Amino acid sequence: MQHKPNEQFKSKLEKFVNDNFEDKFLRKNFLNRFNSWPSSKIESWKLSRLGKLSRKEISPLLPNESDFDKNIKFLKRSYSLVFYDGIYRESLSDKLPENIEISFFEIKELEEFLNKCGNQEILSHPTLNITASCAKNYLKIKIKKNFSLDLPLEIIQYGGDSKHSIHPLILVELEENSALNLIQLYKSSSALIAPLEIVKVGKNSNLEIVKIFDDSDYCHNLSLTIKIIEENSECKSFNLIKGGAFSRSENHVFLKGESSSVDLNGVYLSSDDQHHDLTSVIYHNVPNCRSSQKVRGVLNNNSSGVFQGKVVVEKNAQKSDAHQMSRVLLLSDKANSNSKPELEIYADDVICSHGATVGELDEDQIFYLLSRGLNKEKAQHIMIDAFLTEIIEDSINAIYLENIKNETILGFKKILET
């Protein structure tokens, strides 16, 4: 029988789950919710269409069990956890201090987490459903109570190939009164990487996450992160999206404890036919929380960029403070950007704002720099750097600020060259 491309992937998922997992019946709760890639009629996929992905003839990758000998640390001083083909490789990873615990967890815990989110919408997300059903194992990283990790923790995703999808699934849990600086690097070579990340930030804790999207140029990355933030905690997150053919970093954040805050900032640097997307939904479930989303994009050639930021302020969530701002720089008249800030506010005593701008490099500024002897390339570098630096400095406190700045500079140098 001839399948439509969408159905073809579904049948491959089914076969993969049937063949490989003992807990297949539990996994099927997720699998059954995935029928096909969302069509462009679905609101949250209108601006980021999955037509190309649905035409890829791919199936989930059965991870290669042998390990690889590679020097793949991002920072010199850090604890690194290496994933290959979507699964954690202990032998390639650093040994962690005692107060940080690595374990596998059950599908039941994922279901409990989703119940706690209390949100129906998320249950239909393709990444949630395909990765929960296909992940080889569910890895939990727990920072124990009252502990702050002295160095950054880095998680690097490698592996995959152009015929397969890979499915890393990670839960990061910060117990009460703990702190963590986390860097996640996506450097896969897979047709599709669908990372599912669950983040629990307990009371009085502090999490700073940087995600760098730098997959192969044919890769689709459909990253989904779901976070619950408890009382008096802070989660700062910064996305640098530069690689892949299609990279979407999607975040759903539930501010469940009072006086908690979340920053979801990002930069995308796009060129050629790349499509980059920062999508987020932030739920102010309780009063007195703060959220902020700041996005900067630089687009060259035929590339396109999307920022969709939705803030939902529930009825009792008085004194919420929510801000969104997107600014985009177009370096080519064929590039195309879409910003869709959305506020859904049911409380009356809130401070909310949103805005979006799209522009080009300013001719007067470039000429001023040229007239001081700088060549055009240098002048563009300086102005793009200035455009991006503020948000990066704003988003990152940790010691790796300079590394992230350098990654960003490499990113925009690359899009200027193409």
Partner 1 sequence: MSILKIKNVHLKIENKPILKGISLSVNKGEIHAVMGPNGSGKSTLSYMLAGREGYELESGEVKFENKDITSFLPNERANAGLFLAFQYPVELPGVSSVNFLREAVNSRRKYLGKEEFNHLNFVKEVRKVADEMFVKDEMLKRSVNVGFSGGEKKRFEILQMALLQPVLSILDETDSGLDIDALKIVSHGVNKYKNNDNAIILITHYQRLLDYIVPDFVHILVDGEIKRSGGPELAKYVEKNGYAGIINAA
* Residue tagged 């050639």 (tokens): 301
Q: Is 249 helix (H, G, I), strand (E, B) or coil?
A: strand
Among the residue ranges 241-249, 340-348, 371-379, 406-414, the one whose residues contact partner 1 (CB under 8 A)? 371-379
Which of residues 333, 348, 363, 402 is near partner 1 by CB under 8 A?
A: 363
Indicate whether 361 belongs to the interface with partner 1 (CB under 8 A).
no
Q: Does 163 bind partner 1 (CB under 8 A)?
A: no
Burial degree of 317 (CB within 10 A; 0-12, 13-18, 19+): buried
Choose, by CB under 8 A, the member of 374, 401, 409, 416 that binds partner 1. Answer: 374
Instruction: Decide if 208 contacts 180 (C-beta within 8 A).
Output: yes
Query: Is the CB of 235 or the CB of 392 nearer to partner 1?
Result: 392
Q: Among residue numbers 385 through 414, which ones bind partner 1 (CB under 8 A)?
A: 385-387, 389-390
Query: What pairing do the DSSP bridges indicate for beta strands 87-89 and 79-84?
Result: antiparallel
- Cα–Cα distance measured from residue 294 to residue 355, given in angstroms and rounded to the nearest whole number: 10
Per CB under 8 A, 360 contacts partner 1: no
Residue 227, H or E segment: strand 220-229
| Residue with Cβ nearer partner 1 (76 or 373) | 373
| 382 near partner 1, rule: CB under 8 A | yes
Contacts of 214 (CB under 8 A, 6+ apart): 185, 186, 187, 242, 243, 244, 407
Total residues binding partner 1 (CB under 8 A): 21
Place of tokens 């995959």: 160
> Max CA-CA distance within the chain?
69
* Least separation in angstroms between CB 394 and partner 1: 12
Shortest Å, Cβ 91 to partner 1 = 43
- The region of 139-147, 171-179, 213-221, 383-391 touching partner 1 under the rule CB under 8 A is 383-391
| Residue of 66, 71, 120, 371 interacting with partner 1 (CB under 8 A) | 371
- Count of residues in the chain: 418
For partner 1, the binding residue among 23, 367, 397, 406 (CB under 8 A) is: 367
Name the residue type at position 30: F
Q: Which residues make up the interface to partner 1 (CB under 8 A)? A: 363-365, 367-376, 378, 382-383, 385-387, 389-390
